[in-house]
Structure 1
Amino acid sequence: MDFSFLFDNFVELSVTGLVLGSVYALIALGYTLVYGVLQLINFAHADVFMWGTFVVAWLFILLGANSTGTLLTALPFLLLALVVAASTTGGLAMLVERVAYRRLVRKRALSYIVLISAIGASFVLSETMGIRDRIVEAISGLLNGIAGLFGGSVDLTTLLADYLNNPRGPTRLPFEIQPTTLFMIGEFRVRDTDVTVIVAALIMMVGLDFFIRRTRLGREIRAVAQDPEAAALMGANSTSVVNKTFLIGGLMAGVAAVLFMIKTGQTSFDIGVVLGIKAFTAAVLGGIGNLRGALLGGLLLGIAENYGSALFGTQWKDVVAFVLLVLILLVRPNGLLGQSLGRARA
């Protein structure tokens, strides 16, 4: 174990761990929200996030943003990407609920049957992106039909040619964001990209927590999570509430996708596998069904991975994270903040 490396780079490892953990936390929200309401695991959620990362990359390509600049320079494109990516992932999440969940939930299917359906939806989303050339051709044809009404044309297959020729390979954000140092902590430079990811994740988490606890829809979500039949007697439409819950989780996945691309600048059709497992681990670690637990679990997991990499080497990063999960669950089986969504106080 290399304790000297950990101590010498403690600040850097902590900050970068918080950045990584912030992304885990935002993805974990989707698992937590759905589990809190349906007591089911939505394994397709990570692939909804994956689609959001591609939307960000492709939007930059379509807008011609293919240069190098600071985060401030990229801000107008990122804000537009945030709207488009969140809209896409929100719509996909609602589609997943409608196709893979609703009928099974209404028929009170066994939980493992619903789980298999969710895994199937996950593979459909990831593999569909893996043959994205067919998707883009279909979208291009649709847009050409619309543009033709106004005497124009849109050729997405030409604009995205480089990305269609290698559909199962990595896709890079064409705009290279150059981090700017905001301040120093010892010898470590704290960059604007790191601060943006952490602060944005915290703001989204606080905003969602306030929404769930203080708004009418939030109260309906908590009511359905606690007792669906009683909530229905009080006028809550459980089907609509579940669909909106998926929508909210999808919107959070869109935000996470933008923050992920700011930090890494690269995505691929199969990133949902690893990130999905990590985010699910974060949700369980914090107490699945608890919004604040998702934040705590994500941040702890990100930091634990970095510390583990420093002590044992990067190849042990995942081992350290999951050993931590096992140890905490042995002591607290419900997670660190094991309070269900339905019992969260207003």
Structure 2
Amino acid sequence: MAPGWTIGTLFGLAVLSVAWAPFWGMESIPFGALWDKTDDSVAAYILWNLRIPRVLMAFLAGAGLAASGMVFQAMFRNPLATPFTLGVSSGASLGAAVAIQLGLNFAVWGVSSVAISAFVGAMTAIILVYALTTTSRQGSSTATMLLAGVAVSFFFSSLILFLQYMSDFTRSYQMLRWVMGGMQNIVGFQDVINVLVFVVAGCLIVWYLLMDLNLLTTGEDFAFTRGVNVGQAKTMLFFSVSMMVGAVVAVCGPIGFVGLMAPHICRLLIGADHRRLFPAAMLFGGTMLVVCDTIARLLLAPTELPVGILTALIGGPFFLWLLLTRRRDMGTI
């Protein structure tokens, strides 16, 4: 199938999933509830304040994670890279754990204290990784950035375990539930708007640098000979996608494997040109997370399965398949 038709098909599936998902849950909601303006309509309240914001957030989160995964895979020239490779997820999780442990309970412009603390933690991880990369004796190479991200991620993860160990049962469970990821706390459109700002801003920067990203995949030296300001491009891409991931994780928690699977599958469908891969990955990632979140709501009804568990159940075997496939291509099997 031609790339244009593939992207068009993905767009149609995205529209279909976003339009279909709000009407499915523990109780199905009739289509007519969209226009029910009566104050006592429970169906309309659930649809407009819970289901629709949740579906939109799932699509935004999936699209943002997929776009971020695509960028990191290109920067590191490794299809196994994910949006959480550089410690953003661990930083956000640590921030959320600190807020839960301290019992913080406030909101700023509709954003909860846990989400604010998680975003601060994500930004701390981003700044720390960048500082370690730029001050390294080896220079600001992608390998140095990757190692710095892994080190920061392990350090923050150990602090999270320490906080869980020092917490009582209730707070320890709250921390554990948060790191599973999910859309269960989305009420109204405020969180959707907040995340939308970061996703749109990050995607605009990535779109502006798509040609540079294509050249970076061939190697930094070659990109430099073609006129790419390698240092500036890497810095802009790093901060834009990391802040996008930080905003998503702050609201939804860490949802793994979407940023790994979506870019790789779309790369198999339409090729490695990021001008086509970028919209395809966003559409695929958004649709995938909407479908997974809907299944998570229905699978164990009336209880709800955290969507992060479902994506991990899908992503784990996919990761192994990808790893084995790469080893065969390298002739080691």
User: What is the TM-score with the length of structure 1 in the denominator?
Assistant: 0.52
**Aligned residue in 2 for 1:307:** 294
Structure 1 residues 134 and 74, CA gap change in structure 2 (3 angstroms): closer
Structure 1 residues 21 and 4, CA gap change in structure 2 (3 angstroms): closer
- The residue correspondences of 1:40-79 to structure 2 (distance < 5 A) are 40=78, 41-43=80-82, 44-45=84-85, 47-56=87-96, 58=98, 66-67=104-105, 72=109, 74=111
**Aligned residue in 2 for 1:245:** 237
8 A contact 1:23–1:259 mirrored in 2: no
**2:315 counterpart of 1:279:** no
Distance (whole Å) between structure 2 residues aligned to residue 221 and residue 296 of structure 1: 19
Distance (whole Å) between structure 2 residues aligned to residue 46 and residue 281 of structure 1: 17
Q: Which runs of 5+ in 1 are unaligned?
A: 107-113, 136-161, 174-190, 262-270, 327-346
**Aligned residue in 1 for 2:159:** 132
Distance (whole Å) between structure 2 residues aligned to residue 231 and residue 57 of structure 1: 41
Distance (whole Å) between structure 1 residues aligned to residue 74 and residue 239 of structure 2: 14
Distance (whole Å) between structure 1 residues aligned to residue 297 and residue 97 of structure 2: 31
**Aligned residue in 1 for 2:38:** none
8 A contact 1:94–1:244 mirrored in 2: no
**Aligned residue in 2 for 1:87:** 123
Distance (whole Å) between structure 2 residues aligned to residue 52 and residue 82 of structure 1: 4
**Aligned residue in 2 for 1:181:** none
TM-superposed CA distance for 1:304, in Å, is 1.0
**Aligned residue in 2 for 1:206:** 200
Structure 1 residues 304 and 46, CA gap change in structure 2 (3 angstroms): farther
**Aligned residue in 1 for 2:77:** 39
Instruction: Write out per-residue CA displacement over residues 48-97 of structure 1, whole angstroms, 9 at most, x where no aligned residue.
Output: 223123225536877xx733x5663657x689758734531322443686
Structure 1 residues 42 and 96, CA gap change in structure 2 (3 angstroms): farther
Percent of pairs identical after alignment? 12
TM-superposed CA distance for 1:32, in Å, is 1.3
| Residue identity matched to 1:278 | V
Distance (whole Å) between structure 2 residues aligned to residue 13 and residue 306 of structure 1: 11
8 A contact 1:93–1:249 mirrored in 2: no
- The residue correspondences of 1:59-208 to structure 2 (distance < 5 A) are 66-67=104-105, 72=109, 74=111, 81=117, 84-94=120-130, 124-132=151-159, 165-166=166-167, 169-170=172-173, 172=175, 193-208=187-202
TM-superposed CA distance for 1:38, in Å, is 3.7
Let me know the Cα RMSD of the aligned residues: 5.1
Distance (whole Å) between structure 1 residues aligned to residue 119 and residue 81 of structure 2: 23
| Residue identity matched to 2:81 | N
Instruction: Write out per-residue CA displacement over residues 92-118 of structure 1, whole angstroms, 9 at most, x where no aligned residue.
Output: 443686799x78978xxxxxxx7xx96
Larger strand percent: 1
| Residue identity matched to 1:276 | G
Specify which structure has the bigger relative contact order, considering alpha-carbon pairs within 8 angstroms and separated by 6 or more residues.
1
8 A contact 1:89–1:250 mirrored in 2: no
TM-superposed CA distance for 1:226, in Å, is 6.4
Structure 1 residues 285 and 300, CA gap change in structure 2 (3 angstroms): farther
- The residue correspondences of 1:19-34 to structure 2 (distance < 5 A) are 19-34=57-72
Name the SS for the 1:87 alignment partner.
helix
**2:282 counterpart of 1:295:** yes
Q: Which runs of 5+ in 2 are unaligned?
A: 1-22, 31-46, 177-184, 319-333
Structure 1 residues 320 and 243, CA gap change in structure 2 (3 angstroms): closer
Name the SS for the 2:256 alignment partner.
helix
TM-superposed CA distance for 1:132, in Å, is 1.7
